[in-house]
Amino acid sequence: MATAQETAPARARVRASGWRVAGRRARPAARALAILLMAGAFGFPLYWTVTMSFKPLEEWNPPGKVFWYPNNPTLSNFEDILGLKGAGEFFTERSRSALTPLYHSLIAAGLGTVLALAIGIFAAYGIARFRAGGRLLPFQILQLRMFPPLAIIIPLLFMWVYLDLWDTWHGLVILYGAVTFPFVVWLLRSFFQEVPREISEAAIVDGCTQWGAFFKAVLPQVKGGLAATALFVFILNWSDFLIALVMTQNNWQTAPVYLQALQSGQAGQEYGPQAALAMILIMPPAIFGLLIQRYLVRGLTFGAIKR
């Protein structure tokens, strides 16, 4: 009797140990399954866009059938969207070429990013180093992003029409710079806070002014953060749809607005050219990221290393 009572806890311990061993063995499989599910959820839209860009018209959306890959791959969608073909049968009221909207997006997003950085750098440094504006100023700047876009876009439309800035490149650049300015301030503020104050003080002792200490000693320390912020802001401006839809019409139409207008009476939504243009729209941020990749790792991990 005593022996049975003594072996019962031992059996329970053995059983618990077996469950722990089985759990440890199942964790890698569960982790791999979760990774595959997330990769599928995020990768399938990209796969569908890539394959759709190479499908001919009859494979876009046939009734009762799904083409998981292009049976007859073609570059006609890219030729159509870039205007490499003559006038086709689908686009009747607008140009087939997306080169002009792409140029508009590149100019507006690029100059808007430069404008936001040019103003936000000094604002972030003043807040981080000199506590300019007091404790509430950073939150007041952030409040610019707390309003719903639809709540302010209509008043801005009337203002821009009155100021003759509607459907112009400089009007779009000003809006992009103003919309992304809070992100620049908050991102760069954290990077400037990580720079030791002794660096600027040493530069001043060596004869630099405050401006000289900022440009020669402090700013080179945050090149990685500046690159990461520039990429983030450029992606926001490059992918904007609402502002460009309301604030432009024909003279300065951007690529996202042009993308949603690709349709015809015969084929409906032009899925092939839309996918081809989407593939082209992915390239500028990707190229920009590759050009500054050596600064990105340091910029994204700068605040994680404490002195």
State the amino acid at position 20 in one-letter form: R
Whole-number Å distance between alpha carbons of 55 and 68 = 10
At CA 83, angle to CA 290 and CA 267, rounded to 5? Answer: 105
At 83-105, the pLDDT tens digits run 876 544 444 445 558 899 999 99
Question: Residue 109 in contact with residue 237, Cβ under 8 Å?
Answer: yes
Q: Where in the chain are the domains?
A: 2-53, 99-304
Could you tell me how far CA 253 lies from the centroid of its own chain?
Answer: 20
At 218-247, the pLDDT tens digits run 999 898 889 989 999 999 999 999 999 999
The H or E element that residue 223 is part of is helix 223-238
DSSP lists the bridge partners of residue 264 as 268
> Which burial class, exposed, middle or buried, applies to 198 when counting CB atoms under 10 A from its CB (0-12, 13-18, 19+)?
exposed
Domain 99-304 -> CATH class? mainly alpha
State the amino acid at position 99 in one-letter form: L
At 130-177, the pLDDT tens digits run 888 778 888 888 887 788 888 889 999 999 999 999 999 999 999 999
Could you tell me how far CA 15 lies from the centroid of its own chain?
Answer: 51
pTM of the shown model: 0.82
Cα distances (angstroms) measured from residue 213 to each of 120, 121, 182, 218: 18, 14, 25, 6
| DSSP 8-state code for residue 8 | H
